[in-house]
Amino acid sequence: MQRPKLVGINHVALEVDDIDEALAFYGSIFDLVLRGRSAQMAFIDIGDQFIALSRGRTQAADDHRHFGLVVDNRSATRDALEAAGVEVLPGRGVDFRDPWGNLVQIVQYDEVQFLKADSVLRALGVEPGKTELARAELRVKGIDAG
């Protein structure tokens, strides 16, 4: 029997205490497009994917469990975090915890082996280029990044 291949991530669900507060928090940092919401959940578009904010945080703050967001400009993200009074965690990257303890890592699109279709990039207003290091990582996997 052939095993299925992992193709991508459709969405990540984050537990938060309050949907309105979470939308305000993430909206103070990122340019958000709300896909939909209910009393218990909100859905934020990320091009052809989304983040689900789910009401009801049940665990302690994350130490190692985390999720990574890809942005067009990591420096602008750091600036937005600092302007919002959010602590950027020590280290070489831009990592932070949201008010509910979710650990978030920020990476910049052109520096990682993550690819979006050109049509999605155009819709987001993101340049399609990649650094040579990111292109090399993709070539090793047989993926042409231009």
Q: Is 40 a domain residue? A: yes
In a domain, 28, yes or no: yes
Q: What confidence score (pLDDT) does residue 7 get?
A: 85
Question: Looking at the domain assignment, is residue 29 inside a domain?
Answer: yes
Each residue of 22-43: pLDDT tens digit? 999 999 999 999 999 999 999 9
Which 3-state string (H, E, C) describes 99-135? CCCCEEEEEEHHHCCCCCCHHHHHHHCCCCCCCHHHH
Give the CATH number of the domain where residue 123 resides: 3.10.180.10
Structural domains in the chain (count) = 1
> Which amino acid is located at 92 in the chain?
R
The token duo for 44 is 């934020």
**pLDDT digits over 131-140, tens only?**
999 999 999 9
Q: What range does the domain containing 126 cover?
A: 11-140
Would the pLDDT of 146 be above 80?
Answer: no
